[in-house]
Amino acid sequence: MESAYVKTFFKEKVAEIEFYSPAGNSLNSIQLKELTVAILKAGENKQVAFIHLKSKGDRAFCAGASFDELLQIDNLENGTEFFLGFANVINAMRNCGKIIITSIQGKTVGGGVGIAAASDYVFATKFASIKLSELSIGIGPFVIEPAVSRKIGLSNFTALTLNPTTWKIANWAQEAGLYQHILEDIEELNEEVEKYIKQLSTYNSEALNELKKVLWSNTVLWDELLKQRAKISGALVLSEETKKALSQFKNK
């Protein structure tokens, strides 16, 4: 079985960042750090006009946080540090200075929905259902809430987070504003993304960079806000109720 990774491939003006883990592309703390670094490095690279974010596989984009690692958290410092991983990824996506196009080929949960929401433009397949399952395991989507609410609105965020066991289909996500395009399958997804990337590559990269600033205006407080949210989640994950829910969920 292939080990978890984060890899960057450079294709002309594009930095393609791909992540993978055998557990449904869930992300551990090492991968979250690597993903943050990869996004920021691509942002600093003057040869890169924009970023294409994707995961490996055909039916799971991202299962959120690594359950194995969540179960190992035993103090507030470690808990806060783990959830800061997702905060740092979202802030890197916000601050990197480059437009981020994301391909979502399958189901995405929790932190994966946060990554989708922090993307600037999203292509998805019809299999790309979404769910915010955090309440069902004793925590909440506190870190990703600003990104998700910004993209789909507070009402739709509420509908997701207060129904933590219910999947919302890809069409719902598109109507809510999370996805821009829905394709039949991964082959069509890859074709459409490639076409779009070729088109985007013809545009003035400086104009794209300036547009990125406009798209993310009014989010300057997120660096501190997401740290505060990570501390909330870090405390909740220590509760016996949460540990029990995580164990039961993992053993299903």
pLDDT of 249 above 80: no
**Average confidence (pLDDT) over 29-52:** 96
pLDDT of 252 above 80: no
Q: What confidence score (pLDDT) does residue 1 get?
A: 65
Q: What confidence score (pLDDT) does residue 250 get?
A: 67
- Strands 99-104 and 50-55 turn out to be parallel
Q: What digits encode the pLDDT tens for the residues 106-150?
A: 999 999 999 999 999 999 999 999 999 999 989 999 999 999 999
**Average confidence (pLDDT) over 53-76:** 92
Q: What is the C-alpha to C-alpha distance for residues 97 and 83, in angstroms, rounded to an integer?
A: 23
Burial of 163 (0-12, 13-18, 19+ CB in 10 A): middle
Q: What is the C-alpha to C-alpha distance for residues 97 and 233, in angstroms, rounded to an integer?
A: 28
CATH (one of 3.30.1360.120, 1.10.260.40, 3.30.460.10, 3.90.226.10) for 5-200: 3.90.226.10
pLDDT of 5 above 90: yes
Domain ranges of the chain: 5-200
**Residue whose pair of structure tokens reads 């594009």 in the numeric block:** 14
Residue 57 zone, left/alpha/beta (φ > 0; ψ -120 to 50; rest)? left
Residue of higher predicted confidence among 244 and 114:
114
pLDDT of 223 above 70: yes
SS3 of 84, please? Answer: helix
Whole-structure pTM value? 0.96
pLDDT of 241 above 90: no
Among 69-73, 85-89, 167-171, the least confident range: 69-73
**Average confidence (pLDDT) over 75-93:** 96
Q: What confidence score (pLDDT) does residue 201 get?
A: 92
Q: What is the C-alpha to C-alpha distance for residues 226 and 88, in angstroms, rounded to an integer?
A: 8
Query: For the chain, what percent of residues have pLDDT higher than 90?
Result: 88
pLDDT of 169 above 70: yes
247 — pLDDT class (breaks 50, 70, 90): confident
Query: For the chain, what percent of residues have pLDDT higher than 70?
Result: 98
What is the average pLDDT value for the chain, to the nearest integer?
Answer: 95
